Structure 1
């Protein structure tokens, strides 16, 4: 055990211990329903991995417009992240998620029926608003409802739902492509419009999210921020034992009074040194997650494998291994590591691991002759990169971002940091098709290797640990200048 972990644990002792009972089952049900937002996030970002080539043929896309179909969703996600953070502060986490389910549905409908790029890009932008909103609101909702001892496990389920959604997209794409043989540049005699079926599947979890959230409670911490203490206690009594619920109420109420006095909550708070410090840490963390190149694999994995040497028919099947690696890694992190290893330590391990596997990917192209063996070596090392990313980096990053900010700044801070995350994601998504075409595997993953090494150092210098303490205890420590 590190000194980080020891000091964190002591701050949670004041609360009565968690005890099993129906309240824990209710908490688990809430987490399952809320993470349909993550499932939608994953499917919408992963579906183009197999749908892009037949869409490119049907709509006459170029390398530039191909990147636009991907990056338009990501630009929408950046704006959705910022806007929905503030919206959820104003009207509540639950109502915001219901609105997002509706946006998901109509954005999907627009993309499915799009006759040309002029309709497809606005539809993808609308979907992006929902994806970005879900990326902010779902983790915050779960972290505010979860008890301290289970916050990592419950909050991390959203990231697991995302990679399950991406894996589902890869599998659905491979099955549909095998059954209908879509028309592509290399197979012009195939069926037209097969990609529309791939996209349409996304409507199903959107309906589930809408219906499910109608029956879910609001965040008790949001109720307290609005002075609705009785409503907050009612919610806590459903997901905690009575003594635990009342103890948490007292802790949050005390901190809410302190926050009201200090007038936290927006851009002007960046003038406060400790707020500026945690915002810098959040921004570096958000950028680092995207410049690892993880989403270039999840968006363009099929294309990347074709460049590595796989055939058009083998690449979609091989790409499923990326989704499987992501789900296995997220599961290991969520059920084994997230609440046992301090967040900061786990994130640093993840950054080191992905940097090493990028280096090995580049090395394999240098020492192995071009051909089937090199293609499989690239597949193995990129899959190991995805596995290490999901095992030690993706889940902790999202959980950490939801924990760093104080209550009244949480929507704003999470929204701003995730806005930057999505802008970085959009840049990587737009540039990757050109980068892989010009630099190949060696140039692309060599670039990721150098960037990851730099951001590993920056995270080491700026990121505090957030695990093992209540959200209120973290805020008190940061305000005193304690960023251990």
Structure 2
């Protein structure tokens, strides 16, 4: 058996790598569909296209975010009911048809409707994919696997910025260039659909549904040794059996004191992560750089620097996950983003009209994104996938991700108004929120690194005597 262990280890790693790559195409779609509007909006707003006003521009952008908020709420329950894998397969179909609908939209009403449907898919994926990865991965690799989804999200945004820049520069005179930008999203949707058809279901969900032998087969493929697979199966069964003695999970369960505390933490982290203002750069980055002094084409190219920064930063963040605890990493990220926003606001106030201002703003947004995507983004999705007990994981994470998207929606809808008041005013508001967020994390967010999901549940149940909130 000892001779075969290296081969078995390599096989399990290869299997988990395949699971991770295929499922995180949901994250790639998440990123592309939220980032592509950045470059497509100026072209679709033209009079001979959708003839958008400032109001309808905000509605087109934020309709996806509203759909994502609802999709995350419903997606969690559907994931619990039908399975993580099956839910992701259905989401892939929704991604595909909604992307085609946006591409062919003849008017504002159809565009808003299809963007809303696309948002349902984005929101559902933002819940289902991290949950699936967390439940497929072994404890020692959970952080690395779950945060791969964040890497795929920013890769999708980077690809959106790249294609926007290429198509904007080469086909900018073509009246339908924005449709070419949007239709590209259909390709990864096809890969996700056919890829997930070959993936297994989460072993934790299978045990919950009484499919013990199927769960064991999945664990044998995903763990280095059969002993580890059996030991983890026993641990999962013990947790499920303990929950089986309780009533079926309902909204009333969220009022249990220790669950309510976790829900408060999850919602707080969700709001704090989005209140940094990151998605103002993701959705209105072109407009921000234009207001700072760049031309439209230069702003499109500048956005590719932001996208590349995000990819590199998330890669570094994933590496740091194995070396740094969750809470200090989150605090460092918030300190960095808040400082960068303060400097953007200060520069905009003191250097208005300067030829150097657009370059300073671009450099500071790069610094901002390095902290945001390298520390805050990975921690957000990992914490939400870790803190809730199995019986409430889909519902609890769905509620928290709902707040991610509602915060995102409100910022996306109101940012053009804030921007009209002055770039520095908008960013100083985000600075104030960032300071409040750091205080919240310091006082309320628990440390989850180094514990299995079942061990975390036990510790959260006994949080009054546990050191998990004090580490």
Determine whether 1:78 maps to 2:60: no
Superposition pairs of residues 360-439 of structure 1, within 5 angstroms: 360-368=343-351, 370-439=353-422
CA contact (8 A) 1:17 1:244 kept: no
Does residue 267 (structure 1) correspond to residue 251 (structure 2)? The answer is: yes
Aligned to 2:27: 38
- Matched residue SS, 1:52: helix
1:149 matched to 2:137: no
2-structure distance, mates of 1:470, 1:18: 25
* Structural mapping, 1:88-127, within 5 Å: 88-127=79-118
How far apart are 1:368 and its partner, in Å?
3.3
Residues 161 and 105 of structure 1: is their aligned pair in 2 closer, same or farther, counting only changes over 3 Å? same
Structure 1 position 191 matched with structure 2 position 174: yes
* 1:184 paired residue number: none
Q: Is the 8 A contact 2:336 2:368 kept in 1?
A: yes
1:6 paired residue number:
none
Whether the 8 Å contact between 2:165 and 2:297 is mirrored in structure 1 is no
In 1, are the aligned partners of 2:155 and 2:311 still within 8 Å (CA)? yes
CA distance in 1, matches of 2:249, 2:316: 35
1:263 CA drift (Å): 3.0
Q: TM-score w.r.t. structure 1 length?
A: 0.93
User: How far apart are the structure 2 equivalents of 1:89 and 1:214?
Assistant: 18
Q: After the TM superposition, which residues 91-240 of structure 1 pair with which residues of structure 2 at under 5 Å, given as runs?
A: 91-181=82-172, 190-240=173-223
Question: Which runs of 5 or more residues in structure 1 are unaligned?
Answer: 1-15, 182-189
Matched, 1:473 2:455: yes
1:313-392 matched pairs, under 5 angstroms: 313-334=297-318, 336-368=319-351, 370-392=353-375
Distance 1:17 1:359, change over 3 A: farther
SS in 2 for 1:372: coil
1:24 is matched with which residue?
13
Go from structure 1 to structure 2 and tell me whether the alpha carbon gap of 1:363 and 1:18 turns closer, same or farther (over 3 Å shift): farther
Residues 188-239 of structure 1 show CA distances to partners (whole Å, capped at 9, x for unaligned) of xx32111000000000000000000000000000001111111110110111
- CA offsets per residue over residues 246-303 of structure 1, 9 Å max, x none? 0101111111111122336231112211100010000000011111011110111111
User: C-alpha deviations, 1:100-150, integer Å up to 9, x for none?
Assistant: 000000000110000001111110011000000000000000000000110
Deviations 1:8-51 (A, max 9, x none): xxxxxxxx999832011100000000000000000000000100
Equivalent residue pairs, number: 459
- The offset of 1:433, in angstroms, is 1.5
* TM-score with structure 2 setting the length: 0.95
Contact 1:63-1:434 within 8 A present in 2 as well: no
> Using the alignment, how far apart are the partners of 2:208 and 2:389 within structure 1?
11
Partners of 1:194 and 1:145 lie apart in 2 by 40
Please identify, of 462-471 and 137-146, the stretch whose mean Cα deviation from structure 2 is larger.
462-471
Structure 2 distance, partners of 1:310, 1:429, is 22
Give me the CA root mean square deviation.
1.5
Matched-pair contact (CA < 8 Å) for 1:264–1:409:
no
Partners in 1 of 2:248 and 2:257 — Cα distance?
13
3-state DSSP class of the match of 1:59?
A: coil
Matched, 1:246 2:237: no
Equivalent residue in structure 1 for 2:431, among 436, 441, 449: 449
Residue in structure 1 matching 2:78, options 74, 87, 92: 87
Q: Which moved more, 1:18-27 or 1:396-405?
A: 18-27
Q: CA deviation at 1:438?
A: 2.2
Tell me the alpha carbon deviations over residues 39-95 of structure 1, each in whole angstroms, 9 at most, x when there is no partner: 000000000010000011121111111011111101110111011100010110010
Q: State which drifts further: 309-318 or 147-156.
A: 309-318
SS at match of 2:449: coil
**For the residues of structure 1 that align with 2:248 and 2:6, how far apart are their CA atoms?**
31
The 3 A distance-change label for structure 1 pair 173 and 89 is same
**Shift in Å at residue 369 of structure 1?**
5.1
Contact kept, 8 Å, 1:81 with 1:135, in 2: the verdict is: yes
Unaligned runs of 5+ in 2: none
2:295 — aligned with what?
311
SS in 1 for 2:356: helix
